[in-house]
Copies of this chain bind each other. A is one copy, B any other.
Amino acid sequence: MKGYMGFRGVPGHEFVGRVVESDRRELIGERVVGEINCPCRGCVLCRAGLGKHCRSRSVLGIQGRNGAFAEYLTLPDVNLHRVPASVSDREAVFVEPLAAACQALEQSGVSGGDKVVVLGDGKLGLLIAMIFAVSGAAVAVVGTHEKKLAIAERAGITARTVAGAASCAEADIVVEATGSPTGLECALRMVRPGGTIVLKTTVAAPHTLDLSRLVVDEVSLIGSRCGSFDEALALLAENRLDVLPLISAEYPLERGREAFAKAGERDSLKVLLTVSG
C-alpha cells in the first residue's frame, strides 16, 4: 500500500498455491511457490543471466502483473518451485522473503565468527538475522519494537533497542533493513573500517547523506534484492530455522480489509490471507 513503483492492480507477491492449469502437465495439482520476476528472456541483460534485472520485466503484484491477494494468479511455468511435503503452507509463504534474506547473506561475504548487525526488526530484518545466525555469524538485531525483538531473542539472537545499541564502528557487516531513510546513516556509524553494509531498504525519495566516511573507511555498500528460492526452500525443508513465530494473524481473503488493518498495527509481522480451494 506504501509501494514506490506506482503499481495499480492486485498486490501480493508472497504466496503458496496449487497449480490448476499449465502446459507442463506434470505440474498440475502440485503445491508451488513462485519467483516474482518475469523477465523478457531476450534482452542483453537476460542473455547475460541477469534476468531479474530485465528492464521489461513484470513483477508479481509490484509491476505490470496482478499479484497473489486473489483466488488465482498466473506466472510462467519456469518461475515455479515445488514445495516439499515437509514444508507447511504457513512456512512456504516465507520462501520469497527468505530468498531475499539468503541473497543478503550471500552478497555480504560473511565468514564464520563475523560480527553482524541487522538494523530493523520487521519481517525481513528478523529473517535476515535468523539466516546469518544459521550461517554461524555473531548476530545482533537492532530495532524499536520490543515484541518483535523478543521473537529474535527466543530464536537465540541478540536483540537490542536502537537506544541500547552501541554506535561504535565495530560490526564487520551491517544489514540495513529498516525501511527508513535514516537507516543508512545508522549503518555507516556501526560498520567497522573495511566492513560491509548490505542495503535492503529502497527509499523512494532522494535523501541527504555524507558518503566521505564510506571512502575514507573503505566501506562497501551493497544493494540487495531478490534471492534463490532453492536455497530458501532447502533451509525450510531441513528445519534450519523457525519462521512460524513471525505470523501475527490469518484471515480469509474475503476479510482482506481487516487483514490490512491488522498488518498496519505496531506489533504486527506477517499477516496471512487464505483462500479455501
A interface vs B, CB < 8 Å? 4, 45, 50, 53, 107, 184, 192-194, 199-225
Contact = CB atoms under 8 A, between A and B. Distances in A.
| Most B CB within 10 A of own CB, among A184, A221, A223 | A223
A231 to B, nearest CB: 16
Given A208-B208, A209-B209, 8 more contacts: A45-B193, A50-B194, A202-B215, A204-B212, A206-B209, A213-B223, A218-B224, A219-B223
Contact of A206 (B205, B208, B217): B208
A137 B154 CA distance: 50
A205 to B, nearest CB: 7
A198 to B, nearest CB: 10
Contacts of A201: 215
A212 B222 contact: no
The count of identical subunits is 2
Nearest to A200: B215
Residue of A53, A215, A217 with highest tally of chain B CB at under 10 A: A215
Contact of A53 (B45, B204, B208, B218): B218
A223 B193 CA distance: 10
A216 B225 contact: yes
B206 A214 contact: no
Contacts of A220: 107, 220-223
B217 A53 contact: yes
A199 B221 CA distance: 10
